[in-house]
Structure 1
Amino acid sequence: MTTPQDLMIIALDVAPDRPVGRGDLALALAGAELIDLLAAEAASLADDLIVPGHPPPLADPLLSEAASSLVREAPYESVGDWLWRRGRDLPATYLAALQSDGRLARQGRRGVPFRTTRMALADSPDRRRAADRWTAGEPVLTSLATAIGIAPEDPAATAPDDDTATTVLAAVNDALLELESVRQRRTIEDAAFDNIWRGN
C-alpha cells in the first residue's frame, strides 16, 4: 500500500465538504508519489531539485512507473515541475488500478437502471489500512487530504517530521494556489467574454 493509493481511497471514501477537483487531486497524488519515492530512497532532494537514486525494485507497479519517469540528467527537475508533469491524468490511472484489482466496483440497486449505478470501494485490506492511517491522523496523508479539501484544516494536526516531505507538501500547496488562480482568471475572462456578447 502506498501514500497515493491511500489518498485515492480516502478521496473516494470520505465525503468532502466540496467535490475534489480532478486537477487538485492530480497534484496531490503526484506529491504523494514523490514523498514515497523519497522515503524509498528512489530519489533525494537537492534544494528543490529531484535527484534520482538507485533503490531496490519497488513492489508497487505505479510507484515503479513513477520512479522510472524521474528525469535522470542534470539539471534534473524541480518538485513543482514534477507535480505538473507527473500529475497529468494521474487520478484516472489510480482509479483504473483500483478497478483492475477489484477494489473499486460498479454498484447499483435492484430495479435501478445501469446508468444510475456508481463506483464504490469494495471492503478490502487496502481500504481498511487507508482508513486506519486516516483515523490515526498520519501527518503526510492528513496534510495532503487537507490541502485538497477532503478535511478541514486542523491547527492542532501533527506536521510531518521529515524535511523532504515538508518540502514536497509546500510545493503541492503552491501548485494548488497556482491552479486556483488559473481557474479564477478563466472565470473572469469567461464573464468578460459573455458581457461583450451581451453588449452586441
Structure 2
Amino acid sequence: MSTAKDLFVIVMDSKVERPVGQGDLSLALAGAELIDLLAAGAVTLDGDRIVPGGPPDPADRLLAEAASALIHDMPHERVEDWLWRRGQDLSTAYLTSLEEDGQLIRTRGSRSPFGADRMETVDTPDRRRALDRRERKEPVLAALASAVGLDDERPGEEPESDPGDEAVTTVLAVVHDAVMELEAVRQRRSIENAAFANLWRAP
C-alpha cells in the first residue's frame, strides 16, 4: 500500500483518547501522497514549490489521482497550497477506497469520526506491514502519525526522527504547520461560538 494508506490504517487501528480529526488526517494524507510521488520521481521540490517530473504511473488509484492533480503551469504550486487543495475531504476518499479493498469493515458500535458505524481494520498482510512500519518507528510514517496526534503527542508536534531527505523533511514540516494552523482555527471558532452563546444568555 501507499504511505497514505498505511497512515490511514494505523490511525484506524490506534486506540487513542483523543480521536484524530478528519481535517488533520486529510492534510497528513495529502502530505503522504506527495512524499510517495517524490520517492517515485514524479515530482521534485524547488524550495517549497512542487515541480512535476516524468510521466508518473502509480499502481495505487488514489496516488494516481494525486499525480493527475498536479499543477504543471508556472509558477508551480506551493506545498502548503497542495495540502489544503488536495486534502479537501481526502480522508473520506481513503475510507471508501480501503473499505472497497477489504481493508476496513463497518461494525455497529460507538460513533467514529466517519459516522454512526464503527470502522475496524481487517487483519491483512497490508495492515500488518503498516503496523510494522509504525512499530519500527519508520521516520516518515512516525512524523505523519505525530502530526495527527498519535503516540500521545499533541497534533502538530514534530518527532525526533529525521527522514534524511531534504525534500521529504520540507513536506513533513509543512504538514505539521498546516495541522497547527487548522487547530488554531478550531480554537478561534470555539472561542467565538462561546462568546456568542454568552451574549444570548446575558440578562
RMSD of aligned C-alpha atoms?
2.0
C-alpha distance 139-56 of structure 1, shift in aligned 2 (>3 A): same
Residue 9 of structure 1 contacts residue 127 of structure 1 at CA under 8 Å; is this kept in 2? yes
Larger radius of gyration: 1
Find runs of 4+ consecutive structure 1 residues off by over 3 angstroms. 152-157
- The structural deviation recorded for 1:150 is 1.1
Name the structure 1 match of 2:165.
Answer: 162
CA distance in 2, matches of 1:77, 1:175: 15
- The structural deviation recorded for 1:191 is 1.1
Residue 104 of structure 2 contacts residue 121 of structure 2 at CA under 8 Å; is this kept in 1? yes
Name the structure 1 match of 2:103.
Answer: 103
Residue 4 of structure 1 contacts residue 33 of structure 1 at CA under 8 Å; is this kept in 2? yes
Matches within 5 A, 1:44-83: 44-83=44-83
- Unmatched tracts of structure 2, length 5 or more: 110-114
**Of the candidates 168, 171, 174, which is equivalent to residue 177 of structure 2?**
174
Paired residue total? 195
- The structural deviation recorded for 1:143 is 0.6
Note if 1:9 corresponds to 2:9: yes
Alignment TM-score, normalising by the size of structure 1: 0.91
Matches within 5 A, 1:116-195: 118-153=118-153, 157-195=160-198
Structure 1 residue matching 2:181: 3-state secondary structure: helix
- The structural deviation recorded for 1:118 is 2.6
- The structural deviation recorded for 1:156 is 7.9
CA distance in 2, matches of 1:192, 1:155: 32
Q: What amino acid maps onto 1:144 in structure 2?
A: L
Residue 137 of structure 1 contacts residue 157 of structure 1 at CA under 8 Å; is this kept in 2? no
Tell me the percent identity.
56
Q: What amino acid maps onto 1:57 in structure 2?
A: D
Alignment TM-score, normalising by the size of structure 2: 0.90
Q: What amino acid maps onto 1:159 in structure 2?
A: D
Q: What amino acid maps onto 2:79 in structure 1?
A: V
- The structural deviation recorded for 1:55 is 3.8
C-alpha distance 102-43 of structure 1, shift in aligned 2 (>3 A): same
Instruction: Determine which structure has greater relative contact order: mean sequence separation of CA pairs < 8 Å that are 6+ residues apart, divided by chain length.
Output: 1
- Unmatched tracts of structure 1, length 5 or more: 110-114
Q: What amino acid maps onto 1:49 in structure 2?
A: R
